[in-house]
């Protein structure tokens, strides 16, 4: 089965080139990723499914991982409209739950596999980052935080990318250090209630500390 690389409708004698062929390869690679995950993504298999050969692949991507990343980008649709539950806590938990289910889904496994396979190569990681990669954009967190500030639930100084992304960083950290199974919902609420909400709420200077900006290098 699946010996044919082209659809039956296409004339078998048509030789694909350029963008058309690239499309077919990426489609095949994405299919393999979905079916067999990152370890199953072999150049031979992708070439076979695309009805071409490894030459065409290596002419476009330098190695297996690069192809995998390119293929993943078409798998990850930009599915993140920030939630609006009316409270910061609700929004936070909703975002965390979305991300958690994405990361523990097959797509999340693929993403984690690719991150691992990238082995810290900055270019590959960058390509993996933008396309809705973690199931939640940084931008979404900022708008969500912005609404909270408007409602008076959060201090204006908290409207900072580094602050906004704290919950996602903590969640990702769970996956990195603990491994595959989905993170328990209790952890999500703990991240929200013990870290994010307190952080975002009170930032009034009540402890004696040096100037928060322009640190004098301890």
Partner DNA sequence: CCTTATACGGTACTCACCGTACCCTGTGTG
Partner DNA sequence: CACACAGGGTACGGTGAGTACCGTATAAGG
Alpha-carbon gap, residue 100 to 124, rounded angstroms: 23
Q: Say if CB 57 and CB 32 are below 8 A apart.
A: no
Contact residues toward a second copy (CB under 8 A) are 85, 87-90, 93-94, 109, 112-113, 115-122, 125, 129, 152-154, 157, 160, 162-163, 166, 169-170, 172-173, 175-181, 189-195, 197-199, 201-210, 212-213, 215, 218
Three-class SS state of 120: coil
10 binds DNA (CB under 7 A): no
Assign residue 179 a region: left if phi > 0, alpha if psi is -120 to 50, beta otherwise?
Answer: left
Contact letters (x/-) for DNA, 12-31, by CB under 7 A?
Answer: -xxxxxx--xx---------
Establish if 54 lies at the interface with DNA (CB under 7 A).
Answer: yes
* Binding track over 113-142 against DNA, x by CB under 7 A: ------------------------------
* Site membership for DNA, residue 58 (CB under 7 A): yes
The whole-angstrom separation of Cα 100 and Cα 183 is 7
- C-alpha 122/C-alpha 85 separation (Å) is 36
- Residue 44 near which of a second copy, DNA, none (CB within 5-8 Å, type-dependent): DNA
Is residue 42 involved in binding DNA (CB under 7 A)?
yes
C-alpha 99/C-alpha 88 separation (Å) is 16
Which residue has 């100037």 as its token pair?
211
Residues near DNA, by CB under 7 A = 13-18, 21-22, 40-44, 51-56, 58-59, 63-64
């Amino acid at each position: 089965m699946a010996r044919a690389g082209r659809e039956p409708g296409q004339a078998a004698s048509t030789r694909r080139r350029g963008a058309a062929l690239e499309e077919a390869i990426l489609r095949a690679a994405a299919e393999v990723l979905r079916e067999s995950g990152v370890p199953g993504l072999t150049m031979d298999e992708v070439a076979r499914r695309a009805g071409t050969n490894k030459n065409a692949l290596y002419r476009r991507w330098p190695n297996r991982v690069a192809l995998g990343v390119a293929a993943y980008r078409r798998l990850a649709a930009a599915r993140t409209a920030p939630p609006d539950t009316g409270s910061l806590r609700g929004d936070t938990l909703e975002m965390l739950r979305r991300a958690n289910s994405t990361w523990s889904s097959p797509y999340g496994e693929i993403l984690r596999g690719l991150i691992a396979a990238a082995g810290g190569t900055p270019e590959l990681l960058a390509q993996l980052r933008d396309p809705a990669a973690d199931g939640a954009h940084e931008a979404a967190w900022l708008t969500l935080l912005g609404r909270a500030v408007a409602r008076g639930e959060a201090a204006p100084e908290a409207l900072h990318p580094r602050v906004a992304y704290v919950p996602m960083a903590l969640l990702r950290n769970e996956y990195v250090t603990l491994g595959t199974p989905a993170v328990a919902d209790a952890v999500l609420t703990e991240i929200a209630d013990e870290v994010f909400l307190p952080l975002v709420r009170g930032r009034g200077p009540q402890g004696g500390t040096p100037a928060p900006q322009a640190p004098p290098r301890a």
